Structure 1
């Protein structure tokens, strides 16, 4: 087995950003696939054998990640962004986890922030449930490439940065795998540092409410309206929004539900496509 790191980035013209990502060992020792979303005037090239580059004119994180999954070549894939810092013994940590769990299709690991604190409220080591998947961010996700390819597990094009619903991208990706019966496991070992961005800080933003309302419409249909009311009261209790914001936030949530319904009726909500330039 070998691993391949799938990095999504934008407008890069050289590989210098990889040096910050790999401070403990040189990146040339890893198989790396970079999806560089860019313009025709800003093309990234690699002269390093183990570092492949695909320049794409498309936009959006799910589009970038889907293209990476389609073009990956190694047995084990590790999702990544360009602002993470990999910790020591990365390859050994990932490969040992798969050797110890030969029947597992997807393994999540853990991240720390810049202060060395756990980035999320991770569950105990063991099999994933629908609930535990909610705490997993993209850059701690690894998976067996052949299984995900054969079972057609991809990111939803409409959820994520640069998409219609600007959030919930990881959960939909992992739920797709989970609902298709793939075996998913969490290992309580840190592999990466990610800049300190609190997942709760934007919980009351319009984008978060819009995306989460759409997510609940997908999985719970009309119960999403009940969830929206309960969620707004949750946001008030935890001081993410103010009482006088309720009417506006409620309308945002309703708009998210309606937008998802429209896309579902057109049959394009699960569409996956890719684009690239030489």
Structure 2
């Protein structure tokens, strides 16, 4: 089983990221920087490719690597992760335990835990997929290619709408009836050594973008998604529930009007 890491990176000036991230399998580094070039080389038995492009947008970056991937199993990664020494074995074993899996979500270690910790193996569906981000996801490449699933390039860092490309990707997997599992193994540690180049935190724009994201995820249920998000997270947004809900719905309505 061939495994390949697909890294969304920025401003890399050399090849030190491979060692820094403890990448021990094949990898494609999508490096958004100030120049255009493609580099391919080997480190022992590892085949490494750097895609250096003078462009911006995390969805575009992930798509660039995904289009060129050629492994059985691919991992999406950010450049502030350090993989476990045996991550390849962990991932391969997980797919062997779940031969019907198209996508598997793993745990990430954090200095301060902010992400959902998976405690037991379970299926991922419409009721729980929103809690998982791309950097903990492994895909069976043939399954994704068969259904033409890619990242929405209008959402995520460096785009008009600041986040949500990972939610839209998993949503597309579910809509195409792909099987997604969550397993409790840890594959990497988030160093969180750099601040986001795009995010200003949970500001007013973030809340509005939530409403637009929910519209894109489901034209039928988007108001309910706004409602549950405002109830759960309004304190993180530093506003009351009604204010958060109102901002999301107003942004969603405006977005739908512009889409007609």
**1:118, CA displacement in angstroms?**
7.0
**1:261, CA displacement in angstroms?**
4.4
Distance 1:82 1:227 in 2: 31
**1:131, CA displacement in angstroms?**
2.2
Query: Structure 2-normalised TM-score?
Result: 0.84
Distance 2:80 2:238 in 1: 29
**1:56, CA displacement in angstroms?**
1.8
Report what 1:33 is aligned to.
28
TM-superposition CA deviations, 1:95-143 (whole Å, max 9, x none) = 111111112111111111025x473243641211112211211111001
Query: Structure 1-normalised TM-score?
Result: 0.79
For the 8 Å contact 1:119–1:194, the answer to whether it is kept is: no
Distance 1:144 1:35 in 2: 19
After superposition, the CA RMSD in angstroms is 2.9
1:119 aligns with 2:121: no
**1:147, CA displacement in angstroms?**
1.2
**1:156, CA displacement in angstroms?**
0.9
More strand by share: 2
**Pair 125,202 (structure 1): closer, same or farther in 2 beyond 3 Å:** farther
- Find the residue that maps to 2:210 and give its secondary structure: helix
- Find the residue that maps to 1:254 and give its secondary structure: helix
**Pair 47,189 (structure 1): closer, same or farther in 2 beyond 3 Å:** same
- Runs (4+) of structure 1 exceeding 6 A deviation are none
Report what 2:182 is aligned to.
186
* Structure 2 spans left out of the alignment, 5+ residues: 194-198
Which is further off, 62-71 or 106-115? 106-115
Distance 1:37 1:195 in 2: 20
For the 8 Å contact 1:5–1:33, the answer to whether it is kept is: yes
Report what 1:48 is aligned to.
42
1:128 aligns with 2:144: no
Distance 1:218 1:123 in 2: 30
Q: How does 1:213-228 map to 2 (within 5 A)?
A: 213-221=211-219, 224-225=222-223, 228=226
Q: Given the alignment, which residue of 46, 63, 83 partners 1:66?
A: 63
Which is further off, 99-108 or 253-262? 253-262
**Pair 203,38 (structure 1): closer, same or farther in 2 beyond 3 Å:** closer
Q: How does 1:9-158 map to 2 (within 5 A)?
A: 9-22=9-22, 27=23, 29-40=24-35, 45=39, 47-48=41-42, 50-114=47-111, 117=113, 119-122=115-118, 124-158=120-154
**Pair 118,109 (structure 1): closer, same or farther in 2 beyond 3 Å:** farther
